[in-house]
A = this chain, B = another copy of it.
């Protein structure tokens, strides 16, 4: 198993390449923000990343963190856990079902629970996690957006 440092070194190298490829300046702030975000497995918020980056660069601005995180998202170096963090989205269907999410227009369509064969878990879950329900999120392009592509 690769050590955490080796993994980070690899990631940072890949990051530098990606910057060059995209014509992005590789600044100290940008590198630290990326390294911090990429090394976290707890799906941090921008604020959390800001706090961590501040330990290395006390003068860093929250706006810089946001700007760079958005750049990384566009570049595909990071993903957002959900495309719907901007605003509450309501679902009147309280029965098990799944979602088709358009990554362009953010629309959400339903797939009934029976539309997907029961999901089977192979590996062990983290010790002690109690699953109450699950749903599959299919991400892609809705008919309208796929057509306009």
Contacts and interface: CB of A to CB of B under 8 A. Distances in A.
A137 B137 contact: yes
Of the candidates A47, A91, A109, A146, the one having the most CB atoms from chain B within 10 angstroms of its own CB is A91
A129 B109 contact: yes
A134 B136 contact: yes
Contact of A91 (B39, B79, B140): B79
Contacts of A47: 87
Contacts of A139: 131-135
Interface in A109-149: 109-112, 114-117, 119-123, 125-143, 146-147
Contacts of A99: 81
Given A82-B84, A91-B78, A137-B137, A126 B100 contact: yes
B120 A117 contact: yes
Contact of A122 (B39, B43, B114): B114
Interface in A30-44: 37-44
Contacts of A92: 37-41, 77-79
Given A100-B125, A123-B114, A69 B90 contact: yes
Given A79-B91, A79-B94, 16 more contacts: A43-B91, A44-B89, A81-B82, A85-B88, A102-B129, A116-B119, A117-B120, A117-B121, A129-B143, A129-B146, A130-B141, A130-B146, A131-B138, A131-B139, A132-B140, A133-B138
